[in-house]
Structure 1
């Protein structure tokens, strides 16, 4: 049985180690940063990323939630997936605790998910574009 484009994107999402996040800066140009995957990767329906609330990226997101996420693999077959949707800043402390990792302790003075600079971003994609074997396929989420 052949996998759907969505299933291929889900499989790639589970194995990659770097995600590229982009939002729209107030100057109208993209603002992009690379981040590591979140602690949990349940599905493409919701993706979570950790960063600093004091970052320029978060400041821009607070003004415009339109964003994209790109991830890829350069194995024997190059594959990539672009997701477009809405990215919001999470205020729920239970979610912030869920995505906290001990390796973050050196980056935050309070060494805890309660540190005021620790930020979790929630991304809800609306559409995607999957690339593999020299062709791209658009899909909805």
Structure 2
């Protein structure tokens, strides 16, 4: 892959769904489909929204190891990013990715205590395309 950030970033931007992976209390991987990221900084930092009271948040608080997967069904390609997940509850982070209509999920608005930001920080990845896989690191 010539330009990892351009190839992977372009693919991320076109997907409507992100699949996040967490580790449960028994050490097993758990996968969850999420709405597309609200923001990304290159392919290193990816921001999503969720409920503070969710099972995923509880899992990430105990073990912050995480992965995120994006799949392009049309061209049968995908990318898995490995890294860590942070739970951000400060007002600046919440306001940064708040969108009109989010009150459908968070009735009290941007200050709703059940609204938080998941910040995924990637350290490496694996890209699949044309029947081949390729590992890459993220600086």
1:134 to 2:117 alignment? no
Which structure's residues are more often strand, by fraction?
A: 2
Once the 2 structures are TM-superposed, how far is the Cα of residue 116 of structure 1 from its aligned partner? 0.2
The answer on whether the counterparts of 2:84 and 2:122 sit within 8 Å (CA) in structure 1 is yes
Task: List gaps (5 residues or longer) in structure 2.
Answer: none
TM-score norm. by structure 2 comes to 0.93
Query: How many aligned positions are there?
Result: 138
Match of 1:84 among 45, 60, 82: 82
After superposition, give the CA deviation of every residue in 1:46-101 in whole Å (9 maximum; x if it has no partner).
000100010011001000000000001111x2110000000010133111111112
Gaps of 5+ in 1: none
Cα root mean square deviation, aligned: 1.4
Encode CA deviations 1:14-58: one digit per residue, 9 max, x unaligned: 211100001111111112211112333332110001000100110
Q: Is contact 2:18-2:37 (8 Å) kept?
A: no
**Residue in structure 1 matched with residue 24 of structure 2 by the alignment:** 25
Q: Distance in 1 between matches of 2:3 and 2:42?
A: 15
